[in-house]
């Protein structure tokens, strides 16, 4: 198994100042995260709002500078390389965003939107680019006539297809998809998920898939990383995570998802309280304030992630012994 991406202890702290002369504090959006993505794999980052999953995605493709840690991409350490040296690498890592409204320039026609990465990263001439855009539109299932239309002429699902066409235009190795189907209606969501799966198979892509939707994540992932307040709670393969979740947060998260089957009644773990602020995360295990299995040690000692077998990693005192 060859690693395409490896992140080592990455951190992103955003400075904030509270009040007029308030003391300097920082939001620890990502605070010491480790994982890797194998070539051809779909790794998902799941968690609730503010857990740092989107920031992690942006750190991997270096859309944000790191506060600490290292990012290895395709064998090369890209942590400290300069922007001009980074640019050719960007061809290999593309992004798909949640809101296809705001990620497509409303004044550009589809042709321009999809061919822009080709303009930046290849030396194709106008005719070659046109041909390539036509091919791409066909691949993502948009009608031929789309090439001269503007984004507002499309529905949400079709717009997301434009975003996907743009992302795959330069044959990237990695695609970071940040909540790509969250803004779509279910009947359209499944069309886009199927398209993403087909493309991954056909083009041998590697995905970092970011989502809060655990049903979608189960459907698309090979492995899953559960994040809570900037840290990793659990990393496991899909089967390990959904059949044998170990972290109390993962268990609660899975039990909270409403199941569309009224004949199934489950025991649900209802977590107390709200997600704490990432400015002042709780001491000890950052989940202990809401944990239904909290012990004394959890309040003081942050648990270190531990491999409990077959690459199943859990950061919880219950699994440290």
Partner 1 sequence: MQNEKVLELTNLRTQFITKDSTSTAVNGVSYHIKRGEVLGLVGESGCGKSVTALSIMRLFRDTPGRITGGAVMFGGRNITEISEREMAKIRGKEIAMIFQEPMSSLNPTMKIGKQLTEVILKHRHISVREAKELALDMLRQVGIPRAEQLMNEFPHQLSGGMNQRVMIAMGMSLNPSVLIADEPTTALDVTIQAQILELMKSINEEHGMSILLITHDLGVVAEMCHRVVVMYAGRVVEEADVHSLFAKPLHPYTHGLIDSTPVIGARIERLKSIRGNVPSLDNMPEGCVFGPRCDSFEDRCGREEPPVFHIEQQGVLRKCRCWTAESQSVGKD
Which residues of the chain form contacts with partner 1 (CB under 8 A)? Answer: 48-49, 155, 157-158, 185-191, 193-194, 197, 212-216, 218-219, 242, 252-263, 268, 270-271, 273-275, 290
Q: How far is the CB of 28 from partner 1 (least distance, A)?
A: 18
Of 173 and 247, which CB lies nearer to partner 1 in the complex structure?
247
Q: Which of 52, 23, 38 is nearest to 226 (CA)?
A: 52
CB of 191 to partner 1, least distance (A): 4
Report, in Å, the least distance between residue 316 CB and partner 1: 17
Q: Between residues 25 and 190, which has the closer beta carbon with respect to partner 1? A: 190
The answer for residues whose C-beta is within 8 angstroms of residue 31's C-beta and 6 or more apart is 11, 13, 52, 229, 230, 231, 281
**Nearest distance from residue 262's CB to partner 1, in Å?**
4
Q: Which is nearer to partner 1, 73 or 154 (CB)?
A: 154
CB of 257 vs partner 1, minimal distance in Å: 6
Instruction: CB nearer to partner 1: give 66 or 241.
Output: 241
Nearer to partner 1, 148 or 155 (CB): 155
Angle between helices 186-203 and 156-168 (to 10 degrees): 10
Residue 139 to residues 132, 164, 178, 206, 313: CA-CA distances in angstroms?
10, 10, 21, 18, 37
Nearer to partner 1 by C-beta: 38 or 275?
275
Tell me how far, at minimum, the Cβ of 213 lies from partner 1, in Å. Answer: 8
End-to-end CA distance of the chain: 29
Residues in contact with 252: Cβ distance below 8 Å, sequence separation at least 6, in sequence order: 269, 270, 271, 290, 292
* Residue among 34, 75, 72 at smallest CA distance from 56: 34
Residues constituting the chain: 321
Cβ neighbours for 120, distance < 8 A, ≥ 6 positions apart: 87
């Amino acid at each position: 198994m060859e690693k395409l991406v490896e992140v080592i202890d990455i951190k992103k702290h955003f400075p904030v100042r509270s009040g007029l002369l308030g003391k300097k504090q920082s939001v620890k959006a990502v605070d010491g995260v480790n994982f890797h993505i194998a070539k051809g794999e779909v790794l998902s980052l799941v968690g609730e709002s503010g857990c740092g999953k989107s920031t992690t995605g942006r750190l991997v493709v270096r859309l944000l500078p790191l506060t600490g840690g290292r990012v290895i991409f395709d064998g090369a350490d890209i942590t400290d390389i300069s922007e001009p040296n980074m640019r050719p690498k960007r061809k290999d890592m593309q992004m798909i965003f949640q809101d296809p409204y705001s990620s497509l320039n409303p004044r550009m026609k589809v042709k321009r939107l999809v061919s822009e990465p080709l303009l930046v990263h290849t030396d194709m001439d106008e005719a070659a680019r046109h041909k390539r855009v036509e091919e791409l539109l066909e691949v993502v299932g948009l009608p031929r006539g789309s090439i001269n239309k503007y984004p507002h002429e499309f529905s949400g699902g079709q717009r997301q297809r434009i975003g996907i066409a743009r992302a795959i235009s330069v044959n990237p190795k990695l695609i970071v998809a940040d909540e790509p189907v969250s803004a779509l209606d279910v009947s359209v969501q499944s069309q886009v998920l199927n398209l993403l799966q087909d493309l991954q198979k056909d083009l041998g892509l590697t995905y970092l898939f970011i989502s809060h939707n655990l049903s979608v994540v189960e459907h698309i992932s090979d492995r899953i990383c559960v994040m809570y307040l900037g840290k990793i709670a659990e990393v496991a393969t899909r089967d390990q995570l959904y059949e044998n979740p170990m972290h109390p947060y993962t268990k609660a998260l899975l039990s909270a998802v409403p199941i569309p089957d009224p004949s199934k009644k489950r025991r649900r773990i209802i977590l107390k309280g709200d997600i704490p602020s990432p400015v002042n995360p709780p001491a000890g295990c950052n989940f202990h304030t809401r944990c239904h299995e909290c012990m004394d040690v959890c309040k003081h000692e942050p648990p270190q992630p531990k491999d409990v077998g077959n690459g199943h990693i859990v950061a919880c005192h219950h699994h440290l012994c």
